[in-house]
Structure 1
Amino acid sequence: MKRELKDLSKEEWDKLFPIALHPHDPKWPLIYKDEKDQIVNRLGNSILKIEHVGSTAIPAIKAKSYIDISIEILVEHLFNEEIIQSLEKLGYTFFRQEGKDLDYMVFVKGYNLNGEIEQVFHIHMYPSGHELLHQITFRDYLIANPERAKQYENLKTQLADQHKNDRVGYRVAKDNFILETLDLAKKL
């Protein structure tokens, strides 16, 4: 039986795909745009909003070279088999992700079972009003506040060293900074 990404344990993911930060690459927004065009061509009217989020969307800071894509959909399209199959045809692997109030869809592309990484894409797909909309607020605040963005880069650099082979630990260790930043954004 052929193994797939879905078969990997957390430990295998962490070992195969360690945390590695790279200087900001001005090509990242162009890579996003090309991928966005392919996604929109496949999903069309199912998409309410599509955005480039994550650190590759923030100029001048280091990031994992993954392109994070936020896609807002109608709640009735959540876990829609046609959407899943359309993105699988583009090379994505689907995962159901647990949310605080409502689960959502995650799609990944660019990972190989031998540990080699191509251009990685992460799609976070969720319905209107979902907690993941904060990704856009966070991105916008850091773009508008380069000093805060630099603080985020410094934190990420420190955490990448501490959590090189612990992807969940790396993500969770950033939570307080993200929540503080979202509080700052609310005060505007």
Structure 2
Amino acid sequence: MLDDESLHQGENSEAGPSGSTTEPESGIPVIFNARSGRQIRLPARYTDYLPAAPHGLRHVPPLSPQCDSPAAHTNQPSRSPSPQEPLPLVEYRTSPDDLGLFRIYPSQPTLFPEQADTIHVVADAPTFEQPPPSLCNPPTVHSLSPTGDITPENLYSAFSSPTAGLLMCWQYSGSNSKSAAELNRLWSFIQDSKFDPTLHTSFSH
């Protein structure tokens, strides 16, 4: 049976030449056996591994410390141009027309829309449905001016003939139950060869 002294001596034995001793590591307290007075050391397997500081490569020269010298010219950050303020809008008002109506625009327009103009005058997109030419330029009645006064002389100028005007007056006067079929039937009686318009003085209903 091994005594405590031989046990501690076996733990303290390290690989190496006989009789060689290792110096105790600095910073580690040295403990001695109370009976034999020998130094007590921990086995090597219980020694913590402390990684050393990284070493530089031998073929790379050490970096010389650089002094922070003030820059000769400091580049000022480029300032973006301040956005220009929009010009104030000047209200534009058209002259009153015959009815006293006028238009107000936030600024002077480049085009004054006319009442008779269509969307095809101000826009010509190819996706627009093209109407027939007859609808683009409707026929105008040259004998009746839109701004002219209606007098007994031009009362029926909007119709193809005074006779057509009289027939339309008959249809839309009196009872409103007269249909277009009744108007055509009246016209068929008037066109009869036996119809004499000169006998209007002797006819009464």
TM range (shorter): under 0.3
Structure number with higher relative contact order (C-alpha < 8 Å, ≥ 6 residues apart): 1
In the superposition, the TM-score normalised over structure 2's length comes to: 0.19
* Higher fraction of helix: 1
* Higher fraction of strand: 1
Bigger Cα Rg: 2
In the superposition, the TM-score normalised over structure 1's length comes to: 0.20
